[in-house]
Amino acid sequence: MGGFFLFYRFITWTFVDYHVVIEGKKVLQAFSYKLNKKLIKQLAVTFIVWYLLIVLCFGVLIIVFGALCWLILYAVIDNSLLLAPVFSLLVVLFTLLLFLFSLAINSLDSNFLTELYYQNRERERTGSDIIVPQPKEVLYRSTPEVTNKHILAVLIICLVGVSIGTILLLPAVQKDIDSIDKPVYVTAHRGSSGRAPQNTISAFVAAIEDEADYIELDVQETKNGVVVVIHDSNLLHLGGVDKNIWELNYSELQEIDVGSSFSPEFEGERVPTLEEAIDVTKGKVKLNIEIKINGHEKNLVENTVRIVEEKGIEDECVIPSLDYNELKGVRALNPDLRIGMIIGYVIGDYSKLDVEFYGVEPNLVLTKKFMRDAHDDNKEVHICRSWFRNY
Protein backbone atom coordinates (compact mmCIF):
# COMPACT_ATOMS: atom_id res chain seq x y z
CA MET A 1 0.00 0.00 0.00
CA GLY A 2 2.87 2.32 0.86
CA GLY A 3 4.50 1.61 -2.49
CA PHE A 4 1.29 2.46 -4.33
CA PHE A 5 1.03 5.76 -2.47
CA LEU A 6 4.64 6.67 -3.29
CA PHE A 7 4.09 5.84 -6.96
CA TYR A 8 0.94 7.97 -6.96
CA ARG A 9 2.86 10.88 -5.44
CA PHE A 10 5.66 10.40 -7.95
CA ILE A 11 3.14 10.83 -10.77
CA THR A 12 1.33 13.83 -9.30
CA TRP A 13 4.63 15.60 -8.60
CA THR A 14 6.20 14.73 -11.96
CA PHE A 15 6.17 18.30 -13.27
CA VAL A 16 7.10 20.15 -10.05
CA ASP A 17 10.59 21.05 -11.31
CA TYR A 18 9.20 22.34 -14.58
CA HIS A 19 6.57 24.49 -12.87
CA VAL A 20 9.27 26.10 -10.71
CA VAL A 21 12.01 26.52 -13.33
CA ILE A 22 10.01 27.22 -16.50
CA GLU A 23 6.82 28.83 -15.21
CA GLY A 24 8.38 30.57 -12.22
CA LYS A 25 5.87 29.21 -9.71
CA LYS A 26 6.70 28.95 -6.02
CA VAL A 27 7.65 25.52 -4.71
CA LEU A 28 4.53 25.03 -2.57
CA GLN A 29 2.38 26.21 -5.46
CA ALA A 30 4.10 23.73 -7.75
CA PHE A 31 3.50 20.86 -5.32
CA SER A 32 -0.17 21.79 -5.01
CA TYR A 33 -0.69 21.59 -8.78
CA LYS A 34 -3.25 18.88 -9.51
CA LEU A 35 -3.50 16.57 -12.49
CA ASN A 36 -6.85 15.25 -13.63
CA LYS A 37 -7.57 11.54 -13.10
CA LYS A 38 -7.42 10.68 -16.79
CA LEU A 39 -3.95 12.20 -17.09
CA ILE A 40 -2.77 10.37 -13.96
CA LYS A 41 -3.80 7.03 -15.48
CA GLN A 42 -2.04 7.89 -18.74
CA LEU A 43 1.13 8.87 -16.91
CA ALA A 44 1.03 5.74 -14.73
CA VAL A 45 0.90 3.44 -17.74
CA THR A 46 3.52 5.49 -19.55
CA PHE A 47 5.96 5.42 -16.63
CA ILE A 48 5.51 1.70 -16.03
CA VAL A 49 6.25 0.89 -19.67
CA TRP A 50 9.13 3.35 -19.81
CA TYR A 51 10.93 2.08 -16.71
CA LEU A 52 10.32 -1.56 -17.58
CA LEU A 53 12.04 -0.81 -20.88
CA ILE A 54 15.00 0.66 -18.98
CA VAL A 55 15.23 -2.43 -16.75
CA LEU A 56 15.07 -4.67 -19.82
CA CYS A 57 17.88 -2.75 -21.52
CA PHE A 58 19.99 -2.93 -18.37
CA GLY A 59 19.39 -6.68 -18.10
CA VAL A 60 20.43 -7.24 -21.71
CA LEU A 61 23.53 -5.11 -21.14
CA ILE A 62 24.55 -7.15 -18.09
CA ILE A 63 23.96 -10.48 -19.84
CA VAL A 64 25.91 -9.50 -22.95
CA PHE A 65 28.81 -7.99 -21.01
CA GLY A 66 28.84 -10.94 -18.60
CA ALA A 67 29.02 -13.41 -21.49
CA LEU A 68 31.89 -11.48 -23.07
CA CYS A 69 33.73 -11.39 -19.73
CA TRP A 70 33.27 -15.13 -19.32
CA LEU A 71 34.70 -15.80 -22.78
CA ILE A 72 37.66 -13.49 -22.21
CA LEU A 73 38.48 -14.86 -18.76
CA TYR A 74 38.09 -18.44 -19.98
CA ALA A 75 40.66 -17.70 -22.67
CA VAL A 76 43.27 -16.43 -20.19
CA ILE A 77 42.40 -18.44 -17.05
CA ASP A 78 45.53 -20.59 -17.37
CA ASN A 79 47.85 -17.62 -17.85
CA SER A 80 48.47 -15.99 -14.46
CA LEU A 81 50.48 -13.18 -16.07
CA LEU A 82 47.50 -12.07 -18.15
CA LEU A 83 44.69 -12.95 -15.77
CA ALA A 84 45.23 -10.15 -13.25
CA PRO A 85 45.51 -7.25 -15.74
CA VAL A 86 42.65 -8.59 -17.87
CA PHE A 87 40.41 -8.98 -14.82
CA SER A 88 41.29 -5.46 -13.65
CA LEU A 89 40.57 -4.11 -17.11
CA LEU A 90 37.16 -5.78 -17.19
CA VAL A 91 36.26 -4.34 -13.78
CA VAL A 92 37.16 -0.83 -14.95
CA LEU A 93 35.30 -1.31 -18.24
CA PHE A 94 32.23 -2.51 -16.37
CA THR A 95 32.34 0.56 -14.12
CA LEU A 96 32.72 2.80 -17.16
CA LEU A 97 29.89 1.01 -18.92
CA LEU A 98 27.58 1.55 -15.95
CA PHE A 99 28.51 5.23 -15.89
CA LEU A 100 27.78 5.67 -19.61
CA PHE A 101 24.53 3.74 -19.29
CA SER A 102 23.35 5.89 -16.38
CA LEU A 103 24.38 9.02 -18.29
CA ALA A 104 22.38 7.93 -21.33
CA ILE A 105 19.35 6.93 -19.26
CA ASN A 106 19.38 10.22 -17.35
CA SER A 107 19.53 12.14 -20.61
CA LEU A 108 16.72 10.14 -22.18
CA ASP A 109 14.65 10.28 -19.00
CA SER A 110 15.03 14.04 -18.75
CA ASN A 111 14.05 14.50 -22.37
CA PHE A 112 11.13 12.11 -21.95
CA LEU A 113 9.75 14.03 -18.97
CA THR A 114 10.27 17.35 -20.76
CA GLU A 115 8.28 16.07 -23.74
CA LEU A 116 5.48 14.97 -21.41
CA TYR A 117 5.50 18.36 -19.66
CA TYR A 118 5.04 20.32 -22.87
CA GLN A 119 2.36 17.92 -24.04
CA ASN A 120 0.56 18.47 -20.72
CA ARG A 121 0.67 22.23 -21.28
CA GLU A 122 -0.72 21.67 -24.77
CA ARG A 123 -3.44 19.46 -23.28
CA GLU A 124 -4.44 22.19 -20.85
CA ARG A 125 -4.65 24.64 -23.73
CA THR A 126 -6.48 22.46 -26.26
CA GLY A 127 -7.97 19.62 -24.16
CA SER A 128 -6.21 16.90 -26.20
CA ASP A 129 -4.76 13.74 -24.67
CA ILE A 130 -1.09 13.23 -24.00
CA ILE A 131 0.65 11.31 -26.77
CA VAL A 132 3.55 9.23 -25.51
CA PRO A 133 6.75 10.39 -27.23
CA GLN A 134 8.12 7.96 -29.78
CA PRO A 135 11.60 6.52 -29.14
CA LYS A 136 12.99 8.20 -32.24
CA GLU A 137 11.79 11.59 -31.02
CA VAL A 138 13.32 11.09 -27.57
CA LEU A 139 16.62 9.89 -28.98
CA TYR A 140 16.77 12.66 -31.55
CA ARG A 141 16.02 15.45 -29.11
CA SER A 142 18.41 14.08 -26.47
CA THR A 143 21.30 13.54 -28.86
CA PRO A 144 23.58 16.58 -29.26
CA GLU A 145 25.62 17.23 -32.34
CA VAL A 146 28.66 14.98 -32.21
CA THR A 147 31.94 15.93 -33.86
CA ASN A 148 35.23 14.10 -34.31
CA LYS A 149 36.66 16.21 -31.49
CA HIS A 150 33.94 14.97 -29.15
CA ILE A 151 34.60 11.34 -30.08
CA LEU A 152 38.35 11.77 -29.62
CA ALA A 153 37.86 13.44 -26.24
CA VAL A 154 35.62 10.62 -25.02
CA LEU A 155 38.09 7.97 -26.20
CA ILE A 156 40.98 9.72 -24.45
CA ILE A 157 39.00 10.04 -21.21
CA CYS A 158 38.01 6.36 -21.39
CA LEU A 159 41.60 5.29 -22.08
CA VAL A 160 42.96 7.35 -19.20
CA GLY A 161 40.23 6.07 -16.88
CA VAL A 162 40.86 2.44 -17.82
CA SER A 163 44.62 2.86 -17.38
CA ILE A 164 44.31 4.51 -13.97
CA GLY A 165 41.73 1.98 -12.80
CA THR A 166 43.87 -0.95 -13.96
CA ILE A 167 46.94 0.42 -12.17
CA LEU A 168 44.98 0.93 -8.94
CA LEU A 169 43.23 -2.45 -9.04
CA LEU A 170 46.15 -4.58 -10.25
CA PRO A 171 47.99 -5.05 -6.91
CA ALA A 172 44.83 -6.10 -5.05
CA VAL A 173 43.67 -8.41 -7.83
CA GLN A 174 47.13 -9.90 -8.41
CA LYS A 175 47.31 -11.04 -4.78
CA ASP A 176 44.14 -13.10 -5.20
CA ILE A 177 45.03 -14.29 -8.69
CA ASP A 178 48.38 -15.63 -7.47
CA SER A 179 46.54 -18.14 -5.28
CA ILE A 180 45.10 -19.79 -8.40
CA ASP A 181 48.45 -21.39 -9.15
CA LYS A 182 48.70 -22.86 -5.65
CA PRO A 183 47.49 -26.45 -5.21
CA VAL A 184 44.32 -27.30 -3.33
CA TYR A 185 44.29 -30.68 -1.62
CA VAL A 186 41.04 -32.50 -0.94
CA THR A 187 40.69 -34.79 2.06
CA ALA A 188 38.08 -37.54 2.27
CA HIS A 189 36.61 -37.16 5.76
CA ARG A 190 36.70 -40.62 7.41
CA GLY A 191 37.21 -41.97 3.90
CA SER A 192 34.48 -41.59 1.29
CA SER A 193 31.90 -41.84 4.05
CA GLY A 194 29.06 -41.00 1.69
CA ARG A 195 29.70 -44.18 -0.27
CA ALA A 196 30.74 -46.60 2.47
CA PRO A 197 30.70 -46.89 6.29
CA GLN A 198 32.97 -44.25 7.82
CA ASN A 199 36.50 -45.18 8.87
CA THR A 200 36.37 -48.62 7.26
CA ILE A 201 38.52 -50.28 4.63
CA SER A 202 35.65 -49.95 2.14
CA ALA A 203 35.50 -46.19 2.76
CA PHE A 204 39.26 -45.89 2.24
CA VAL A 205 39.15 -47.85 -1.02
CA ALA A 206 36.29 -45.63 -2.21
CA ALA A 207 38.33 -42.52 -1.36
CA ILE A 208 41.21 -43.82 -3.45
CA GLU A 209 38.78 -44.42 -6.33
CA ASP A 210 37.51 -40.85 -5.87
CA GLU A 211 41.12 -39.64 -6.23
CA ALA A 212 41.26 -37.87 -2.87
CA ASP A 213 44.63 -36.40 -1.92
CA TYR A 214 44.26 -37.26 1.76
CA ILE A 215 42.10 -39.52 3.89
CA GLU A 216 41.21 -38.23 7.35
CA LEU A 217 40.84 -41.05 9.85
CA ASP A 218 40.53 -41.23 13.63
CA VAL A 219 42.53 -43.53 15.89
CA GLN A 220 41.73 -44.81 19.37
CA GLU A 221 43.06 -47.58 21.58
CA THR A 222 41.38 -50.84 22.60
CA LYS A 223 41.55 -52.34 26.08
CA ASN A 224 44.62 -54.38 25.14
CA GLY A 225 46.41 -51.44 23.45
CA VAL A 226 45.65 -52.06 19.76
CA VAL A 227 45.38 -48.85 17.72
CA VAL A 228 42.15 -49.01 15.72
CA VAL A 229 40.47 -46.62 13.30
CA ILE A 230 37.16 -45.33 14.67
CA HIS A 231 35.63 -41.93 15.46
CA ASP A 232 33.00 -42.63 18.13
CA SER A 233 34.24 -44.03 21.43
CA ASN A 234 30.94 -45.89 21.84
CA LEU A 235 29.88 -48.54 19.31
CA LEU A 236 26.13 -48.05 19.63
CA HIS A 237 25.80 -45.87 16.53
CA LEU A 238 27.96 -47.94 14.19
CA GLY A 239 27.59 -51.45 15.57
CA GLY A 240 24.41 -51.37 17.62
CA VAL A 241 26.35 -52.42 20.72
CA ASP A 242 26.46 -50.16 23.78
CA LYS A 243 30.14 -50.74 24.49
CA ASN A 244 33.11 -48.39 24.62
CA ILE A 245 36.36 -48.95 22.75
CA TRP A 246 38.45 -49.03 25.93
CA GLU A 247 36.20 -51.75 27.39
CA LEU A 248 36.88 -54.24 24.58
CA ASN A 249 39.91 -56.22 23.54
CA TYR A 250 40.67 -56.18 19.84
CA SER A 251 39.37 -59.75 19.43
CA GLU A 252 36.04 -58.73 20.99
CA LEU A 253 35.85 -55.66 18.77
CA GLN A 254 36.25 -57.84 15.68
CA GLU A 255 32.99 -59.63 16.51
CA ILE A 256 31.00 -56.41 15.94
CA ASP A 257 29.62 -55.61 12.48
CA VAL A 258 29.96 -51.88 11.70
CA GLY A 259 28.78 -52.02 8.08
CA SER A 260 25.15 -53.14 8.23
CA SER A 261 23.99 -49.91 9.88
CA PHE A 262 25.14 -48.08 6.75
CA SER A 263 23.82 -50.55 4.18
CA PRO A 264 23.20 -54.32 3.92
CA GLU A 265 25.79 -54.25 1.15
CA PHE A 266 28.51 -53.74 3.77
CA GLU A 267 27.43 -56.45 6.20
CA GLY A 268 30.47 -57.97 7.87
CA GLU A 269 32.58 -54.80 7.77
CA ARG A 270 34.84 -54.57 10.81
CA VAL A 271 36.71 -51.77 12.61
CA PRO A 272 40.19 -51.81 11.02
CA THR A 273 43.52 -51.41 12.77
CA LEU A 274 45.77 -48.51 11.84
CA GLU A 275 48.19 -51.00 10.27
CA GLU A 276 45.43 -52.38 8.02
CA ALA A 277 44.42 -48.88 6.96
CA ILE A 278 48.01 -48.01 6.06
CA ASP A 279 48.50 -51.25 4.13
CA VAL A 280 45.48 -50.43 1.94
CA THR A 281 46.36 -46.77 1.35
CA LYS A 282 50.17 -46.61 1.27
CA GLY A 283 51.48 -45.17 -1.97
CA LYS A 284 47.96 -44.36 -3.18
CA VAL A 285 46.79 -41.56 -0.90
CA LYS A 286 48.21 -39.64 2.05
CA LEU A 287 46.74 -39.89 5.53
CA ASN A 288 45.47 -37.37 8.06
CA ILE A 289 45.64 -39.39 11.28
CA GLU A 290 43.66 -37.65 14.01
CA ILE A 291 44.44 -38.76 17.55
CA LYS A 292 41.11 -39.04 19.38
CA ILE A 293 41.36 -38.62 23.12
CA ASN A 294 38.74 -40.31 25.34
CA GLY A 295 40.59 -40.25 28.66
CA HIS A 296 41.21 -44.00 28.76
CA GLU A 297 44.15 -44.32 26.38
CA LYS A 298 47.45 -45.65 27.71
CA ASN A 299 49.98 -45.53 24.90
CA LEU A 300 47.96 -44.20 21.96
CA VAL A 301 50.47 -41.54 20.92
CA GLU A 302 53.48 -43.82 21.31
CA ASN A 303 51.85 -46.68 19.40
CA THR A 304 50.59 -44.40 16.63
CA VAL A 305 54.05 -42.89 16.06
CA ARG A 306 55.62 -46.36 16.18
CA ILE A 307 53.22 -47.71 13.54
CA VAL A 308 53.78 -44.70 11.27
CA GLU A 309 57.54 -45.21 11.51
CA GLU A 310 57.37 -48.97 11.02
CA LYS A 311 55.20 -48.53 7.91
CA GLY A 312 57.52 -45.83 6.58
CA ILE A 313 54.87 -43.19 5.90
CA GLU A 314 56.42 -40.30 7.85
CA ASP A 315 56.35 -38.15 4.69
CA GLU A 316 52.90 -39.37 3.65
CA CYS A 317 50.88 -38.35 6.69
CA VAL A 318 49.97 -35.51 9.04
CA ILE A 319 48.85 -35.94 12.64
CA PRO A 320 46.32 -33.48 14.12
CA SER A 321 44.53 -33.51 17.46
CA LEU A 322 42.28 -31.41 19.67
CA ASP A 323 44.68 -32.02 22.57
CA TYR A 324 47.93 -30.06 22.36
CA ASN A 325 49.57 -32.23 25.03
CA GLU A 326 49.21 -35.25 22.76
CA LEU A 327 50.74 -33.27 19.90
CA LYS A 328 53.70 -32.36 22.11
CA GLY A 329 54.09 -36.08 22.74
CA VAL A 330 54.23 -36.74 18.99
CA ARG A 331 56.81 -33.96 18.57
CA ALA A 332 58.98 -35.40 21.32
CA LEU A 333 58.90 -38.89 19.79
CA ASN A 334 59.53 -37.75 16.21
CA PRO A 335 60.25 -34.06 15.49
CA ASP A 336 59.99 -34.64 11.74
CA LEU A 337 56.31 -35.61 11.77
CA ARG A 338 53.94 -32.83 10.69
CA ILE A 339 51.39 -32.09 13.40
CA GLY A 340 48.36 -29.79 13.56
CA MET A 341 46.09 -28.26 16.19
CA ILE A 342 42.34 -28.60 15.61
CA ILE A 343 40.67 -25.37 16.74
CA GLY A 344 37.01 -24.98 17.61
CA TYR A 345 37.14 -21.44 19.00
CA VAL A 346 39.74 -18.69 18.86
CA ILE A 347 40.61 -18.21 22.52
CA GLY A 348 44.16 -17.22 23.39
CA ASP A 349 47.26 -16.93 21.23
CA TYR A 350 47.67 -19.91 18.93
CA SER A 351 50.76 -18.48 17.26
CA LYS A 352 52.94 -19.88 20.05
CA LEU A 353 51.91 -23.49 19.36
CA ASP A 354 54.62 -25.67 17.88
CA VAL A 355 52.58 -27.06 14.97
CA GLU A 356 52.72 -26.97 11.18
CA PHE A 357 49.03 -26.29 10.61
CA TYR A 358 45.66 -25.47 12.14
CA GLY A 359 42.46 -27.40 11.50
CA VAL A 360 39.50 -25.03 11.81
CA GLU A 361 35.73 -24.94 11.55
CA PRO A 362 35.06 -22.17 8.98
CA ASN A 363 31.84 -20.96 10.59
CA LEU A 364 33.47 -20.61 14.01
CA VAL A 365 36.99 -19.22 13.64
CA LEU A 366 37.79 -18.54 10.00
CA THR A 367 38.31 -14.78 9.72
CA LYS A 368 40.61 -12.62 7.62
CA LYS A 369 42.67 -11.78 10.69
CA PHE A 370 43.03 -15.43 11.65
CA MET A 371 44.14 -16.36 8.13
CA ARG A 372 46.56 -13.43 7.94
CA ASP A 373 48.10 -14.22 11.33
CA ALA A 374 48.43 -17.91 10.47
CA HIS A 375 50.16 -17.19 7.18
CA ASP A 376 52.44 -14.63 8.84
CA ASP A 377 53.48 -17.43 11.24
CA ASN A 378 54.09 -19.73 8.26
CA LYS A 379 51.23 -22.01 9.33
CA GLU A 380 48.88 -23.81 6.96
CA VAL A 381 45.12 -23.62 7.54
CA HIS A 382 43.12 -26.80 6.94
CA ILE A 383 39.37 -26.30 6.64
CA CYS A 384 37.62 -29.01 8.65
CA ARG A 385 34.54 -30.94 7.55
CA SER A 386 35.23 -30.53 3.82
CA TRP A 387 38.96 -30.55 4.65
CA PHE A 388 40.20 -28.27 1.91
CA ARG A 389 43.77 -27.26 2.43
CA ASN A 390 44.60 -23.58 2.04
CA TYR A 391 48.09 -22.13 1.96
Tell me which residues are annotated as active site: 189, 231
Burial class (CB in 10 A: 0-12, 13-18, 19+), 2: exposed
Are the beta carbons of 308 and 289 closer than 8 angstroms?
Answer: yes
Cα torsion through 67, 68, 71, 73, rounded to 10: -110
Burial class (CB in 10 A: 0-12, 13-18, 19+), 204: buried
Q: How far is the C-alpha of 56 from the C-alpha of 54, rounded, in Å?
A: 5
- Compute CA distances 199 → 256, 276, 299, 364, whole Å: 14, 12, 21, 25
Q: How far is the C-alpha of 230 from the C-alpha of 233, rounded, in Å?
A: 7
Are the beta carbons of 139 and 108 closer than 8 angstroms?
Answer: yes
Q: How far is the C-alpha of 136 from the C-alpha of 329, rounded, in Å?
A: 82
Residue 317: beta bridge partners? 287
